[in-house]
Each structure stands twice: as C-alpha cells, then as structure tokens.
Structure 1
Amino acid sequence: MSPSHLLALRPPPEIEARIVAFREAHGVRDAAAVPHITVKARSGLDDDLCWLELVPAVAAATPPIPAELLAPRVFPNGSALYLPARSPGAVRLHLALLDALRPARRFGYEGPHLTPHLTLALGRRDVQLDALLAAAGQTFTPPLPFTATELVWMRKPGPGGAYRPVQSWLLGGAGEAGP
C-alpha cells in the first residue's frame, strides 16, 4: 500500500511534550504519534506530489493561526479520543487548501463543517477510549491556547506507520521553515 499525506498545524513544543507524555504513559502507539491538527487530509494529496507546488502560496497568504485546545472528547463513532481545536483560522486554511488543490473527490468531513482537532488516541480493539477519556480529562485542563506559525506536510509510509513531518512552510511568510 502507498504512503498517505496530510497537511497540518503543530502545537508548540511545551504542549506537544504533554501530549507525547500522555500517550507514552498510556501505551498509545498509532498513526497520530506526532501531535498535529489536520487542516487537509489525504484527498488531493497524491503520491505524484504535484500538489506540493501549490502549498507554499497558500501558506504565505495565511497569517499565523490562533487555536485553543478544549476538553477531551471521543468521536460518536468511537474512531478517536481527541482535543477539539477552536480555531476559525484553521477552518479558513482548510478551505483555502481545498480551493487551491481542487481534489477530484473529498472526504465527507471536508468543507466549512470541518472539526479541527488534535487526536490523542485512535479507536482500536485494544484501546479503552472511555478510560483514556477520563485520564485525558485530568491531564488536559482547557483551554490550551497557542498560535500555529507553520503549515506542515506529514507523511505516513503505509498501514501501521505513523505520520511524520517532512517539510514545513511559514504561515504569512515566504519560504520553507524546515522539517
């Protein structure tokens, strides 16, 4: 199976460290190993990487994005434990990326109704999301505010792998920020 790509905002190091410590303390190992808020999922992000030439202009036209991570929740379908991200700017960036990339097909959650969030744990057979939700409620006291300054390309090598940063672009700036 081929790699998967996404574009994301990352929390600052102090919030990221808390999330990583929570995941490690509870033995969570899944594709969300590097904390991030997805602003553009896989549709339109093909392995030909042609879309990469469009991303820098969108990042440069987008100012840094304020976000607040809120109290933990579990998606109704049990797919993940997450911290909702209150961030109109993240939704605007998502819509700008959809407009620039014009994917042939979209996921049902894409569009103005996108729910920005930071996944703490994916729902799997061996993961007790209710227990993790209780622990997350004690660990993460909302709001956790930050301002994202980079748009990050993340890549997962295939099934069972984790998304890792590949490249980033400064928001509202010109050029790359680094891996």
Structure 2
Amino acid sequence: MQHFIGVVPPEDFKAKVIHFQKKWSGNTITEVVEPHITLKAQGGLTPDRKWLDQVKEACWRTNPFRVQLGGPAFFGEDVLYLSIRSEKIYDLHKQMVQIAEPTSKQVDDYFELKHFVPHLTLAKTTYGLSKEDLVDMAEAGDKEFRPFPAFEVDQVRVYKEGRANTYTKLEDLPLGSIPRMQS
C-alpha cells in the first residue's frame, strides 16, 4: 500500500475543478484521486506508517499559510496542471522529504526537493486524454479559473492507496496546533 501527502483546496474550488475535469469524456483522473496539490510523493512513505507521527509533528510546528493558484501549465506534453505560488509550501515539502527519507532515485523519480514544482493536476494522457485534449483543456482552464484564487492552507491530507492507483483520505493533519486529546 502506497501513501502520499497533499493539500486539498477549499470544497467549492475542489468541486469546480472536478466539474471542469468531467467536461472531457474519457478523463479518468477523477476516479483516481480528488484534486490536490502534492506535498510529498510516495517515495519513502512506507506501508508501516512509521513516518506518520513525525509528519504530524512537522504539521503542528508549521503555521497555516496561503497559496496562490495560477495559470495552466504543462509537464512535457502529457500532464496539464494549474500552477501554484507559495514559498511556505517549499519549506513544508522539504520537511516531509527529510522525514520520509526517500532514496536519491525516489527523489529524482518523484521530482522532489530541487525538482519540486507545486501544482494541481487537471489531466494526464495516462488518464484517458490525448495531447490535443490537454491543449484544448489548458485554453479552457485559463478562462474557467481566472481570476485564479488564493486560499489558506490550514491542514494537509495523508492519502492511502486503496485499489491499485486509487487514492483516498487516510487522515487530515492540522497545521499550527496540537490537536486536543479526546476525553
């Protein structure tokens, strides 16, 4: 079972992204995972979850911060995403990588640390769309999401893999505060 850690946009924007993604028939990304900004990819996040307590502590020590969404962009010709601007997300990403201790190959394979580009994926060719579809989707996305919103990040979400290549919420971790113990 694999895991990754992400930031989920506010519910209203998340719903808008899903609605937009579903306008392209054959776009199966909505069956794989909800819209999110990957904070820490799978590398080093072992099935035993020994890293989870340290991740929680890092979240508690991190104050909430803002991210600014930006225009559509591409990784090569096969991945379309909305860009993200936020200095704080880089700091939290680095902490998560240090906790997970991925191999240098995993860091390279998952584009982490110096290769990290925060983004919110809209579509991939591996999820049913053509390269031409992605170009059309980028043009439509620039109109659909403009003006690009900013939002406050006050928690991160740990995802677990259920069925092969399908991810769901495992746990939400608050930023900047130690959760109260249940009595």
Is TM-score (shorter-chain normalized) higher than 0.5?
yes
* Alignment partners' CA distance in 1, 2:80 and 2:176: 31
* Alignment partners' CA distance in 2, 1:125 and 1:152: 22
**1:21 — aligned with what?**
19
**1:55 — aligned with what?**
55
**1:42 — aligned with what?**
42
How far did residue 158 of structure 1 move?
A: 4.4
SS in 2 for 1:25: coil
How far did residue 13 of structure 1 move?
A: 1.0
User: Any stretches of 5+ residues in structure 1 without a counterpart?
Assistant: none
* Alignment partners' CA distance in 1, 2:17 and 2:127: 22
Percent identity of paired positions between Structure 1 and Structure 2: 27
**2:3 — aligned with what?**
5
Runs of 4+ deviating beyond 6 Å: none
**1:119 — aligned with what?**
121
Report how many aligned residue pairs link the two structures: 172
Deviation by residue 1:104-154 (Cα, 9 ceiling, x = unmatched) = 343222114410000011223740211211221221114310011101101
**2:98 — aligned with what?**
99
Alignment RMSD = 1.9
**1:136 — aligned with what?**
141
Task: Give the number of the structure whose residues are more often helix, by fraction.
Answer: 2
Q: TM-score, normalised by structure 1?
A: 0.87
How far did residue 58 of structure 1 move?
A: 0.6
1:32–1:119 CA contact under 8 A, matched in 2: no
User: Any stretches of 5+ residues in structure 2 without a counterpart?
Assistant: none
After superposition, the Cα gap between the structure-2 partners of 1:55 and 1:137, relative to the gap in structure 1 and judged at 3 Å, is same
